[in-house]
C-alpha cells in the first residue's frame, strides 16, 4: 500500500479532511472504550504501533496533543524534545536520521526549524510522516484543527468570512490555513501588522490555483463597506481582501467591525526576525473590541498568546481558542488512524493523488535562495540538492522549491 504523509495541507483532499472530521466527532465522544494493559483506552486501534515524536523546536500543545492522541488510541510514543539530544547535534544528516527512526517507528511526527525538513524525512523514512511545523513554512495539523473548529463552532466552512490577523509573514499556521480556506471556498481577510504581510507568492498562488477574487484595501473604512456588501449579496465566489499593515488601525479606527465570522489572531513570531530588536505595533484584542464584533463571531488563536489577546475575554463564549486547542486531540487521533489505515480507515480506498507539476532539470545550478530551506543547509548538501517544480502563474511559468515551496522568477533556460 502507498505510504501517505501530511507534510503540507495539499497532501489530503477535501473529502479526506471531512472524513477525518467525522471520525474525530466519534473519537471526541469517547465511544468504543475497552480495557487495555490494565487501563481504559479509547479505541486501542493503534495497539502495537509506535509513534516517534521528534520536536527540534519548543512545543507544548502540538507535541502533547499528538502524544495524547497516540496514547488514547492504544499506541506507544518515543520522544525527542530538543535537537541537542539527537544525533543531528553530532552532524548526522536529516536523511540519515529519517532512515534510522523509520526503522524504529510506524509513524513519525516532526517539528523542525528548517523549512522542508519534514518532506526530506518523508522521502527517506519509509513510514508515514506528519509535519508538526517547519520554520515559517506550514503547520498542516494545526490547519486541520482550525478547520475542525470552524465546523464545530459555526456549522460549516464554505462561505464563511475569516480574518487572519497579525503576523502573516512568519506565522506558518496562517500560511497553511489560507490555502485550506480557499479550497473550502471561504472568504479570507488578511489584516497584517506593519511589515508582516502575507508573502506575496502565497496570495498570488491562491488566486491562480483556486480562482479567488483578490482586492487590495488601503483603509479600514473601505474594508467595512466592501466586506459587508459582499456578505449582504451572498456572493458565492471566494474573495481575499488584503489589508497590508492595517492591523494596528483596524480596531482602533472602526466603531463597527465588518461582517466577519471568525477572527484568527497570531502572536508576533519574534524568534524568526532577522533583527530581534525591531518593534511592531500590535494591538491587544480586549473586551472593548469584543463588543464591536457581531454576536455570533468567534475568536481563534493557535496559542501560545503573548500580549495580543486579553485574559479578560477568556470567559466570553465567542472566545473559542481553548476549545480550539482541545479539538486538536481528536483531530490528531483521526489523522494518525488515517495515515496508518486503522480503525475507521482500515477499508478506505485511497484514490487521491497530490497535484504534480513537471520537475525542472536544474542544469543551471539554481538555488532556492531561502536561507531557512533545508536545501540551503551545508550539512545536508551531500544528500539534498536543490529541486524545483515548474508551476504556471498569471505571469508565466515559475520555479517552486519542492522543499519550502518558495517560488522564484527566472528565465527557464532548460526544460
- For 325-382, write each residue's pLDDT tens digit: 999 999 999 999 999 999 999 988 888 888 788 999 887 889 998 999 999 999 999 8
Q: 90 pLDDT band (50/70/90 cuts)?
A: low
Q: What is the pLDDT of residues 42-74, one digit of tens each?
A: 578 999 999 999 999 888 889 999 999 999 999
Q: 226 pLDDT band (50/70/90 cuts)?
A: confident
Q: What is the pLDDT of residues 300-310, one digit of tens each?
A: 999 888 888 99
CATH 1.10.472 fits 356-415, yes or no: no
For residues 184-197, give the mean pLDDT: 92
Percent of the chain with pLDDT strictly greater than 90: 58
Q: 34 pLDDT band (50/70/90 cuts)?
A: very low
* Predicted pLDDT at 151: 97
For residues 270-278, give the mean pLDDT: 56
For residues 387-394, give the mean pLDDT: 84
Q: Taking 90 as the threshold, does the pLDDT of residue 24 lie above it?
A: yes
Q: Taking 70 as the threshold, does the pLDDT of residue 87 lie above it?
A: no
- Please check whether the two domains, 143-321 and 356-415, share a CATH topology: no
Q: Taking 60 as the threshold, does the pLDDT of residue 36 lie above it?
A: no
Domain ranges of the chain: 9-139+325-345, 143-321, 356-415
Mean pLDDT of the chain: 87
* Predicted pLDDT at 270: 58
Q: 30 pLDDT band (50/70/90 cuts)?
A: low
Q: Taking 50 as the threshold, does the pLDDT of residue 108 lie above it?
A: yes
CATH 3.40.50.1370 fits 9-139+325-345, yes or no: yes
Question: CB of 81 within 8 A of CB of 132?
Answer: no
pTM for this entry: 0.90
* Predicted pLDDT at 414: 47
Q: Taking 50 as the threshold, does the pLDDT of residue 86 lie above it?
A: no
- Please tell me the least confidently modeled range out of 257-261, 327-331, 392-396: 392-396
For residues 283-293, give the mean pLDDT: 87
Q: 264 pLDDT band (50/70/90 cuts)?
A: very high
Q: 29 pLDDT band (50/70/90 cuts)?
A: confident
Domain 143-321 sits in CATH at: 3.40.50.1370
Q: Taking 80 as the threshold, does the pLDDT of residue 130 lie above it?
A: yes
Q: Taking 50 as the threshold, does the pLDDT of residue 169 lie above it?
A: yes
* Predicted pLDDT at 237: 67
Amino acid at each position: 500500500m502507498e505510504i501517505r504523509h501530511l507534510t503540507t495541507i495539499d497532501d489530503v483532499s477535501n473529502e479526506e479532511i471531512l472524513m477525518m472530521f467525522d471520525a474525530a466527532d466519534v473519537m471526541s465522544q469517547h465511544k468504543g472504550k475497552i480495557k487495555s494493559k490494565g487501563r481504559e483506552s479509547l479505541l486501542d486501534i493503534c495497539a502495537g504501533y509506535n509513534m516517534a515524536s521528534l520536536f527540534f523546536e519548543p512545543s507544548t500543545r502540538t507535541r502533547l496533543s499528538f502524544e495524547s492522541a497516540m496514547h488514547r488510541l492504544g499506541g506507544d510514543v518515543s520522544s525527542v524534545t530538543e535537537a541537542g539530544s539527537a544525533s543531528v547535534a553530532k552532524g548526522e544528516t536529516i536523511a540519515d536520521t529519517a532512515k534510522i527512526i523509520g526503522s524504529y517507528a510506524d509513524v513519525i511526527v516532526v517539528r523542525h526549524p528548517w523549512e522542508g525538513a519534514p518532506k526530506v524525512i518523508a522521502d527517506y523514512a519509509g513510514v508515514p510522516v506528519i509535519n508538526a511545523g517547519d520554520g515559517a513554512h506550514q503547520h498542516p495539523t494545526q490547519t486541520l484543527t482550525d478547520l475542525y473548529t470552524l465546523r464545530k463552532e459555526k456549522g460549516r466552512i464554505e462561505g464563511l468570512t475569516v480574518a487572519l490577523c497579525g503576523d502573516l509573514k512568519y506565522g506558518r499556521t496562517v500560511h497553511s490555513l489560507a490555502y485550506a480556506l480557499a479550497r473550502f471556498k471561504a472568504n479570507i481577510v488578511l489584516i497584517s501588522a506593519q511589515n508582516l504581510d502575507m508573502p506575496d507568492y502565497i496570495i498570488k498562488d491562491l488566486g491562480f490555483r483556486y480562482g479567488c477574487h483578490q482586492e487590495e484595501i488601503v483603509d479600514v473604512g473601505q474594508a467595512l463597506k466592501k466586506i459587508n456588501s459582499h456578505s449582504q449579496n451572498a456572493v458565492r465566489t471566494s474573495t481575499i481582501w488584503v489589508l497590508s499593515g492595517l492591523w494596528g488601525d483596524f480596531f482602533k479606527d472602526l466603531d463597527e467591525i465588518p461582517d466577519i465570522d471568525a477572527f484568527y489572531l497570531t502572536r508576533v513570531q519574534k524568534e524568526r526576525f532577522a533583527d530581534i530588536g525591531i518593534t511592531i505595533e500590535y494591538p491587544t484584542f480586549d473586551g472593548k473590541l469584543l463588543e464591536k464584533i457581531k454576536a455570533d463571531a468567534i475568536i481563534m488563536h493557535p496559542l501560545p498568546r503573548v500580549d495580543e489577546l486579553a485574559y479578560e475575554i477568556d470567559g466570553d463564549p465567542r472566545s473559542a481558542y481553548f476549545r480550539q486547542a482541545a479539538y486538536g486531540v481528536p483531530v490528531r487521533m483521526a489523522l494518525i488512524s488515517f495515515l496508518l489505515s486503522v480503525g475507521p480507515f482500515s477499508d478506505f480506498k485511497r484514490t487521491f493523488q497530490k497535484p504534480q507539476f513537471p520537475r525542472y532539470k536544474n542544469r543551471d545550478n539554481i538555488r532556492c535562495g531561502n536561507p531557512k530551506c533545508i536545501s540551503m543547509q551545508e550539512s545536508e548538501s551531500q544528500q539534498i540538492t536543490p529541486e524545483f517544480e515548474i508551476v504556471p502563474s498569471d505571469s508565466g511559468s515559475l520555479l517552486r522549491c519542492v522543499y519550502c515551496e518558495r517560488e522564484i522568477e527566472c528565465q527557464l533556460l532548460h526544460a
